[in-house]
Amino acid sequence: MKKNNTTNLFTKLTQIKPSEIKGAFVSFIFLFVLMASYMIMKPVRDALPSDWGNVGLAQQWSYTFIVATIAVSIYNFCASKIPVKRLVPSVFVFFAITFILIYTANKLNIGTAYLGKIFYVWSSVFSLFHISVFWSYISQQYSKEDSKRVFGFINVGASLGAISGPLLIILLAKKISVENILLITSGALFITLPLLAYLNYYFSKNTSQTEQTLSLSSNPFSGFQEFITHKRLLGIAAFIFMFTGLSAFMYTAQTELLSDFSRAERKTLLGSVELATNILTIIIGIFATNRISRKFGMKTSLSMVPFILVGLILLLTINPAVMFVLALQVVRRSGNYAITRPAREILFTAVDREARFKTKPIIDVAIYRGGDVFWIWIIAFLGDGYLDLGITAILIVAAAVVLLWGFLGVYLGKKHDETDTPTTKK
């Protein structure tokens, strides 16, 4: 009776059916571990750019885009050669090994003058890649309607992981050095393997043996072909591209305003932003995300946060103080993580398998980082690179970008809600 009461309470709270609880909960833990693996080292990465300036940061983001594009191309080639069942865990093992190699290079004093920037670039690629592959895997397991109920809860795992990662480092701060953080990240990635094995077993009940071992198209360029020939995928890419514009503008404002603080102070402030962001994300994710998408539709889920942010950015131009910028960062990121990101992943339930595993990483990683490069150079041009505009003028430009992002969200959400069958051709 107690178990039934708990199940009923969980179902009432999350709107997840009893038969879906096991799969949703293990997926939740899976994403928790993945996000924690990145967030463990994120404060170290984020403390580096304040010493580089706008142009220096733009250069690093350019390198990140180049490396991300190469990584996605290699991934697409591998995806055309091996079954998805082996492809997904291979990605996590590969990243774990690379972080061990960076750790080893640091211990052996190999290229120490460049390791900081190498770490920044590679961790930036990793931050998108491993989550993209996770959602590629999960999105094939749920229908459009089921995803509206389940994805919000699963995504809460990311927020809890984002809190637990830095918390673990704080608790172990006196026992581990900065470079040992890489070993913890690697260990966390290896933990995902038994979780993935269980999910393969759990979801296999609803799929045939042929589907489980089926490889994707043998054409290594098919993911790129899908991308450039389907309007829906181009629309999702444009949505992410506009989102990176806001991220770049806010990241630059944050970096500029934090330049007067010491590195230790920056870590403290950024850590507070992470904590507030993820607590708010958890609350919204449990109580509001699935209800918004089911009651108001995808066009609201995709456009709500952009339209709210337009007004907040315009208010920020009146007094662009560091605490106001950090507060806006909390609203922006929690809104994205809790509402916009799950809605964006739901869009991929309406595309085919090839697009989920090959085109999605192109959009999530290469287009995302390409957007970073485009916008950071635009900001550098507006700022100390040429026009020397102040932060207020730059924020006004940011508001215009966010407004376009919101309208694009309305369009994509409306198209998704109108589509009854999975397709990439509309």
Question: So what's the pLDDT on residue 424?
Answer: 42
Each residue's pLDDT tens digit, 145-160: 889 889 989 999 988 8
> Per-residue pLDDT averaged across 116-141, rounded?
92
Highest mean pLDDT among 21-25, 29-33, 113-117, 165-169: 29-33
Helix (H, G, I), strand (E, B) or coil at 70: helix
Distance separating alpha carbons of residues 305 and 218, to the nearest angstrom:
39
| DSSP line for 140-170 | TTS-HHHHHHHHHHHHHHHHHHHHHHHHHHH
pTM over 0.75: yes
**Both tokens of residue 7?**
């199940």
Distance CA 330, CA 32 (A): 20
The CATH-assigned architecture of domain 19-418 is Up-down Bundle (1.20)
> Domain spans of the chain?
19-418
Residue 194, classified by CB atoms within 10 Å of its CB into exposed (0-12), middle (13-18) or buried (19+), is: exposed
User: According to the model, what pLDDT value does residue 310 have?
Assistant: 94
Angle (CA) 36-103-27 rounded to 5° is: 20
Euclidean distance between CA atoms 339 and 134, whole angstroms: 18
Q: Please, are residues 132 and 105 in contact by the beta-carbon 8 Å criterion?
A: no
Amino acid at residue number 43: P
Question: Would you say 195 and 29 are in contact if contact means Cβ atoms under 8 Å apart?
Answer: yes
How many CB atoms are located within 10 Å of the residue 287 CB? 13
pLDDT tens, residue by residue, 373-411: 898 888 888 877 678 888 888 889 999 999 999 999 999
Indicate whether 305 pLDDT > 80.
yes
pLDDT band at 131 (very low <50, low <70, confident <90, very high): very high
Buried b or exposed e, range 412-426, using 16+ CB within 10 angstroms:
bbebbbeeeebebee
The whole-angstrom distance between residue 201's C-alpha and the CA centroid of its chain comes to 26
Which residues, other chains included, contact 319 with Cβ-Cβ below 8 Å and sequence gap of 6+? none
Looking at residue 159, its pLDDT comes to 85
Banded model confidence at residue 423, pLDDT cuts 50, 70, 90: very low
Is 72:362 a contact under the CB 8 Å cutoff? yes
| Least confident span in 210-224, 300-314, 346-360 | 210-224
If phi > 0 it is left, if psi is from -120 to 50 it is alpha, else beta; for residue 217 that is: beta
pLDDT, average across residues 317-323: 82
Contact between 157 and 29 under an 8 Å Cβ cutoff? The reply is yes
The DSSP output letter for 392 is H
On average, the pLDDT of the chain sits at 85
Q: What's the rounded mean pLDDT across residues 229-246?
A: 93
Token representation of residue 323: 């605490």
Rounded Cα distance between 199 and 72, Å, is: 24
User: How far, in Å, CA of 312 to CA of 331, rounded?
Assistant: 9
What is the Cα–Cα distance from 251 to 164, expressed in whole angstroms? 23
C-alpha dihedral sign at 382, 385, 389, 393: positive
Q: Write the pLDDT tens digit of every residue in 28-64.
A: 999 999 999 998 888 777 767 666 666 677 788 788 9
Stretch 157-169: mean pLDDT = 83
* Confidence at residue 73, expressed as pLDDT on a 0 to 100 scale: 92
The predicted model gives 294-319 an average pLDDT of 91
- Residue 363 CA to residue 227 CA, distance in Å, equals 8
Q: Where are the beta strands (DSSP E) in 260-411?
A: none
